Structure 1
Amino acid sequence: MQPKVIFFDLGGVVCRFLPQRRLDALGDACGVSSDQVEGVLYSSGLIRRGELGHASSAEIHRTVVDGLGYPGSFAELRELWCRAFQPDPHVLQVVDRLRPLRTALLTDNDPLLLDALPHVFPEVGSRFDPLLFSCRLGAAKPDPVVFARALDLTGCAPAEAVFIDDKATNVAAARELGITAIQFVGAAELVAELDGLLAP
């Protein structure tokens, strides 16, 4: 059976995830160390709360301004926020090869990144519909709730979906629900896996 939707993870699959770049860029913008940025964003639990939908983009912006002295605009912060991600052109080519199959993004990320993605990385945002972020789903992988809500929002049964993620725990959780899941290790390997899966 041909799948109705293929879900892609963002960080570690569609994009390389380089969190230190975000910390360094914000540190430079605020005139503080990257360790201070890490404390305000991550050690405080702010990012995790954002990922689960408990902190808005406005709250993250306000925290960066009040806690770090960030002097820039919200639009500039969106660009800095995306420094943690680097789109992988080889994976984007794989996504293009899948047309006309539907491709969706299923990622654990906060609302500021969701706001920023179409503006900073339109080449990523335009290739996926819908953009399913944990902050909107109210749970993070490998919670089964994430997959159930993603399936519901795309109108698919588990057997009609494929999920691609770099983390073994997330892949295992999807498989337990009857979703065909692939652990990502590289674009070439992904092409081989998908070719075998989608062969008529």
Structure 2
Amino acid sequence: MLYIFDLGNVIVDIDFNRVLGVWSDYSRVPLATLQQSFTMGEPFEKHERGEISDEEFAKLLCESMELSLSYQQFAAGWQAVFVGLRPEVIDIMQKLREQGHRVVVLSNTNRLHTTFWPTSYPEVQAAADHVYLSQELGARKPEPAIYQKVLEAEGFPASEAVFFDDNADNIKGAQAVGIVSIHVTDKSTLPDYFAKQPC
């Protein structure tokens, strides 16, 4: 079987309020104001597909939020999204590989984040056979193309794949191409799933 794991809030906890908190400290704009103006719109999606640079993304997002930040300040906040590893998921991934299954990570991410998390959480790459990143594939979840690219690269039909993600739209996208998909709603989802369906 091919097991496909999302990164954020599946393997590594993330929290965008931490990002906004850092930007608030730098800009003196109230956190509540930033929470209202922060949206994952077109610049966010283009950044995740690798269509715009980190610097261009920072500029567009700051403009849309009326934020005055240097690129360094923007980047410092952007990397604050990562909270910590879920070791129980790393254990599951390692056990699946030991049993002969193929284990990969599929993440909507961006170049700026990939300068941070691989070195901060080396356990992720150590527990996966491959890490697929949206900006390298030129597509992002829930677009059908990204799932198809992973299946083709891995040589598995959709019927032999299981996908775990915390985003309901991404789950629907994977289901649309025929992949069994599990919505990760909290830290118990994965352990509970494998307890009921032994690997």
Q: Which residue of 1 aligns with 2:6?
A: 9
Q: Which residue of 1 aligns with 2:94?
A: 96
Q: Which residue of 2 aligns with 1:178?
A: 178
Kindly indicate whether the alpha-carbon contact (under 8 Å) linking 1:30 and 1:70 is maintained by their aligned counterparts in 2.
Answer: no
Q: Which runs of 5+ in 2 are unaligned?
A: none
Q: Which residue of 1 aligns with 2:25?
A: 28
- In structure 2, which of residues 28, 42, 48 is the aligned counterpart of residue 51 of structure 1? 48
- CA distance in 1 between partners of 2:36 and 2:72 (Å): 18
Relative to structure 1, is the Cα distance of residues 65 and 176 closer, same or farther in structure 2, using a 3 angstrom cutoff? closer
Q: Which residue of 2 aligns with 1:168?
A: 168
Q: List per-residue Cα deviations over 1:25-73 (Å, max 9, x = no partner).
A: 234345655546986x757743222012211235446778997342749
Secondary structure at 1:26 match in 2: helix
- CA distance in 2 between partners of 1:176 and 1:150 (Å): 15
Secondary structure at 1:25 match in 2: helix
- CA distance in 2 between partners of 1:20 and 1:73 (Å): 16
Question: What does 1:73-84 align with in structure 2 at a 5 Å threshold?
Answer: 77=75, 80-84=77-81
Relative to structure 1, is the Cα distance of residues 28 and 10 closer, same or farther in structure 2, using a 3 angstrom cutoff? same
Tell me the matched-pair count: 192
The reply to whether residue 85 of structure 1 matches residue 82 of structure 2 is: yes
Q: Which residue of 2 aligns with 1:106?
A: 106
Relative to structure 1, is the Cα distance of residues 42 and 112 closer, same or farther in structure 2, using a 3 angstrom cutoff? farther
The reply to whether residue 18 of structure 1 matches residue 34 of structure 2 is: no
Relative to structure 1, is the Cα distance of residues 155 and 59 closer, same or farther in structure 2, using a 3 angstrom cutoff? farther
Identity over aligned pairs, percent:
26
Secondary structure at 1:132 match in 2: strand
Q: Which runs of 5+ in 1 are unaligned?
A: none
Question: What does 1:110-189 align with in structure 2 at a 5 Å threshold?
Answer: 110-189=110-189
Q: List per-residue Cα deviations over 1:118-141 (Å, max 9, x = no partner).
A: 123223343234222222222222
Relative to structure 1, is the Cα distance of residues 97 and 53 closer, same or farther in structure 2, using a 3 angstrom cutoff? same
Relative to structure 1, is the Cα distance of residues 193 and 146 closer, same or farther in structure 2, using a 3 angstrom cutoff? same
Relative to structure 1, is the Cα distance of residues 123 and 129 closer, same or farther in structure 2, using a 3 angstrom cutoff? same
